[in-house]
Structure 1
Amino acid sequence: MDELRRAMRATERADGLDITDIMRRGRRLRRRRRIGAGVAATVAVIAVAVGVDVVAPRPGPPHAPAGEPVATASAGTPPPTPAAVPAPTEAPPRPLGTVVGSGIRYGADERVFFMVPVELPRVPGVTIGLVAGRRTPDGRLTSDFLVNDVSGSDRRPGFHEIGYDQQRVPADAPVPTFGYFVGPAARIVGTVDGHQVEAKLVRWSEDPQVMIFWFDPTTLTPGTPLDGITAHTSQGRRL
């Protein structure tokens, strides 16, 4: 209204108001308001993008119920020391069935393999995964590498996901190439650069059709991709 009054006074002529000039000033005012609003919005977005802390007014002390005094801190009273919050700890893995020892050692720890439950809401046919972990002398388990299917069924016949530790983590305990096969396999043979390397395998205690296998790091360097892999029955028939 003030802008309108100023425009009317500035454009008043002897023959009346200059309507054209008043409308032109009004358009300039609207454009300025739009630009101002856009700048404010941009500043707000930039503040969020760079993580600027927004300081909110500090609320006053809570109101005590009627009849109860409100505790106040004097200038010479130190603030209360906050209680220490314990750091979160990772839950130990929960094996399904027997933990398979490999005989591979990293100091006092042994490389082990074991199945664990997994949950993929959109893939109901996948409920297990295979972990390459370590076991300490007192029996404590740690997980280094987990493989599991992401489609279909975890019990379909044949090879399932194979673990390649290309990062070799941890560096002092690289994970050997490992996986599992569903079917009556007695031998599992991998091929690298035309050379064949044979895996070690153990039957999973919870399902006799599931064969857990791994390649010894001395015969297959951890992280080396296989050119091919085959499974054979005890009679030598290829599965």
Structure 2
Amino acid sequence: MSESEQLRHAMRVTERPGVALDLVAVLRDGRRLRIRRRIAGAGAATLAAGLAVVVGVLVVGAGPDALPTVERPPSIAAAPTPPAVVSPTPPIEPSFPDSPPPTAERTTPPSPLGKVIDSGIRHGTDQRVFFLVPVSVPGQPRVTVGLAAGRRATDGTLTTDVLVNDVRGTDRSAGFHQIGYDEHGSAAPVPTFGYFVGPAKRITGTVDGEQVDARLTRWSVDQQVVVFWFDPAKLTPGDRLDGIIARDSRNRRL
């Protein structure tokens, strides 16, 4: 019989007729029951604490076989960053705006197209001559010739001082084409020159209101191409024309 059942039995005994209630026994049995409950509660707490201690011992005292081994990833040493390579800055060449432009060198021209034109002007033993040469302009297939002002030595060697040619359109269109000027004032001055396509019989240039006649001749390959130049004694080489006019055999302006 449990303690609670014993207490209930003792209380029922008092309800029986003729049975005297033993208060001392009732109090004694109740006290024993409370003491036993306190002991049972303390025992349970002690047991829980013991379990906690045991668990703690198991965790702390666990060997390497009791817990899984966690391997750390190997550390990777970062490669040192190479120092940046700095290229030395090239020195800046000084500019001298007041310096004279370089002197143009005479170059050996390609073979002339047609006959070389003698201007009648002499530079020492050299002849001042004009001649047309083949040229090539990117993207301009109809520009195929240029006009050169050069010199011819006594042995027939040709050199070029100035070369002019169109840069667009066609080199055989009617009218005036590029005009050449002496830009550098060389020791052998180049007369102002150019060519005209058409039946020109007279060509005049205007400078400061004065008209100057040019000398002219036709190109041996194409008679429609008229080469002209101005006498340096009448028109200073390098002076820009204010205007230029071509006229036909009836003096009509072309």
**TM-score scaled by structure 1?**
0.64
User: Is the 8 Å Cα contact of residues 148 and 160 (structure 2) preserved in structure 1?
Assistant: yes
| Alpha-carbon shift at residue 98 of structure 1 (Å) | 0.5
- From 196, 201, 210, the counterpart of 1:195: 210
Structure 1 residues 31-180: aligned runs within 5 Å:
33=81, 36-37=83-84, 40=85, 43-44=86-87, 46=88, 49-50=90-91, 91-168=108-185, 171-180=186-195
Using the alignment, how far apart are the partners of 1:132 and 1:99 within structure 2?
10
Match of 1:232 in 2: 247
| Alpha-carbon shift at residue 182 of structure 1 (Å) | 0.3
Match of 2:201 in 1: 186
User: Is the 8 Å Cα contact of residues 93 and 143 (structure 1) preserved in structure 2?
Assistant: no
For residues 132-176 of structure 1, the C-alpha deviation after alignment (integer angstroms, 9 at most, x for no partner) is 0001122111110000000000000000000011212xx220100
Match of 2:95 in 1: none
Q: What is the letter of the counterpart of residue 151 of structure 2?
A: R
For residues 158-215 of structure 1, the C-alpha deviation after alignment (integer angstroms, 9 at most, x for no partner) is 00000011212xx220100000000000000000000000000000000010000000
Using the alignment, how far apart are the partners of 1:112 and 1:205 within structure 2?
14
Unpaired stretches in structure 1, ≥5 consecutive residues = 1-28, 52-89
Secondary structure, counterpart of 1:156 in structure 2: coil
Using the alignment, how far apart are the partners of 2:157 and 2:114 within structure 1?
16
Using the alignment, how far apart are the partners of 1:91 and 1:163 within structure 2?
18
Match of 2:225 in 1: 210
User: Is the 8 Å Cα contact of residues 130 and 148 (structure 2) preserved in structure 1?
Assistant: yes
Secondary structure, counterpart of 1:184 in structure 2: coil
Percent identical among aligned pairs is 61
Q: What is the letter of the counterpart of residue 144 of structure 1?
A: D
For residues 17-48 of structure 1, the C-alpha deviation after alignment (integer angstroms, 9 at most, x for no partner) is xxxxxxxxxxxx99x959x42xx1xx22x26x
Q: What is the letter of the counterpart of residue 211 of structure 2?
A: Q
Using the alignment, how far apart are the partners of 1:116 and 1:126 within structure 2?
11
Match of 1:18 in 2: none
User: Is the 8 Å Cα contact of residues 108 and 160 (structure 2) preserved in structure 1?
Assistant: no
Q: What is the letter of the counterpart of residue 116 of structure 2?
A: V
Q: How many residues align?
A: 164
Using the alignment, how far apart are the partners of 2:135 and 2:167 within structure 1?
10
Q: What is the letter of the counterpart of residue 139 of structure 1?
A: G
**TM-score scaled by structure 2?**
0.61
Secondary structure, counterpart of 2:227 in structure 1: strand
User: Is the 8 Å Cα contact of residues 232 and 238 (structure 1) preserved in structure 2?
Assistant: yes
Mark the structure with the bigger radius of gyration.
2
User: Is the 8 Å Cα contact of residues 180 and 213 (structure 1) preserved in structure 2?
Assistant: yes
| Cα root mean square deviation, aligned | 2.2
User: Is the 8 Å Cα contact of residues 162 and 178 (structure 1) preserved in structure 2?
Assistant: yes
User: Is the 8 Å Cα contact of residues 108 and 158 (structure 2) preserved in structure 1?
Assistant: no
